[in-house]
Structure 1
Amino acid sequence: MTTTTPDRTTARLDLKGLAPEVSAAMGELHRAALRAAQAAGVEPGLLELVRIRASQLNGCAFCLDMHTKDARAQGETEQRIHTLGAWRETPFFTERERAALALAEAVTSVQDGQVPDEVYAAAREVFDEPQMTAVIWAAVVINAYNRTAISARMVPGAYQPAPRS
């Protein structure tokens, strides 16, 4: 039996170059979601936790590389990043973060069914409607990016966060 090992150093496709209008639309969706989160008062660090957790669930190495670097650049601790996959078993996350992570997991894992009522209710306890909407959009956008990066086999490692001003 012959097996081949996928080349993890070369992307399969240049999705951005081959479909620039679609890539630009994804970028605008991302920016619109960021504006909504900012207008709603959702903390940038909480959004990074959502992005990292969804990327963990989806197994997206490219997005994990990017968003863990972005989280660290925003002051996130190594301890919280390293234990994010087991957030339920740690004392490191606030009630608000826990609600966002549970909601992000439910949005990411829709193959398991709809977002459970108890997850939705817990999120409503700590988020108003614009904030909850922003968290959902953040989860939706990162899931789309995860699927793009995984499909194109985008190579992690080169991304560097923009310098903070």
Structure 2
Amino acid sequence: MTQRINAMAQSPELFKKFVEFSMLVKKSGTIEASILHLIDIRASQMNGCGFCLDMHVKEAKIDGERELRVHHVAIWRESSLFSPRERAALAWTEVLTRLPEHGVPDDIYEQVRAQLSEKEIADLSFAVMAINGWNRLNVGFRTTPGAADKAYGLDRAKLD
């Protein structure tokens, strides 16, 4: 598969601002980095974004995430490896990634509200919004998985 266009080269100012937004979300400090990795992986799986999935699996490994947990993200409901807080974040990620026709069901919101503060839910929602934006950009332009490993230091993950 060949990359269609390079969005960074074509729209450098917009790309830069979206990177800044994404970094601000990650630095908000209310949501643990481990959960941010999980939601980035899950949304990327759901959206079929090979570039982002590849990137976030490598980032998670570099940050010390256990390999089996990464494999279990796709089956998080059946897995015993995730805490109630992580499960709530994954449920919120899924519902915001594929919005139901009639909106977010109350039971999912209540599950999330039981585990996260209002500020955390807001920050988590921005994180989900960011990864979905990146997924759409990279799926649309067929960005090659692993293409930016060296630039982003992801070759340190040693996942060949």
Same fold (TM over 0.5): yes
SS of residue paired to 1:56? helix
Alignment-mate amino acid for residue 53 of structure 2: L
Which amino acid is 1:35 matched to?
K
Q: Does 1:161 align with 2:154?
A: yes
Aligned position for 2:11: 19
1:83 aligns with 2:76: no
- Give the AA of the match of 2:73: L
RMSD: 1.6
Q: TM-score, normalised by structure 2?
A: 0.90
Q: Is residue 2:23 matched to residue 1:31?
A: yes
Q: Does 1:43 pair with 2:32?
A: yes
For each residue in 1:17-54, what CA deviation from the matched residue of structure 2 results, as whole angstroms up to 9, or x when unmatched? 01111101111110221232x1x2x2101001000000
CA deviation map 1:54-112 (0-9, x unaligned): 00000000000000000111111111111111100010100000000000000000154
Match of 1:3 in 2: none
Counterpart CA distance in 2 for 1:111 and 1:13 is 31
1:117 and 1:18 map into 2 onto residues whose CA distance is: 41
Letter of the structure 2 residue corresponding to residue 90 of structure 1: S
Amino acid at match of 1:74: D
Q: For residues 55 and 23 of structure 1, what CA distance do their matches in structure 2 show?
A: 19
Q: TM-score, normalising length from structure 1?
A: 0.87
- Where do 5+ consecutive residues of structure 1 fail to align? 1-7
Aligned letter for 2:154? P
Q: Secondary structure of the residue that 1:110 maps to in structure 2?
A: coil
Deviations 1:91-149 (A, max 9, x none): 01000000000000000001544122111111111111111111111110000000000
CA distance in 2, matches of 1:28, 1:113: 32
What is the percent sequence identity of the aligned residues?
A: 38
Determine helix, strand or coil for the equivalent of 1:90: coil
Q: What one-letter code is carried by the residue in structure 1 that aligns with 2:26?
A: L
- Alpha-carbon distance in 2 for matches of 1:20, 1:32: 18
2:65 match: secondary structure: coil
Instruction: Provide the residue aligned with 2:87 in structure 1.
Output: 98
CA–CA separation in structure 1 for the residues paired with 2:109 and 2:23: 25
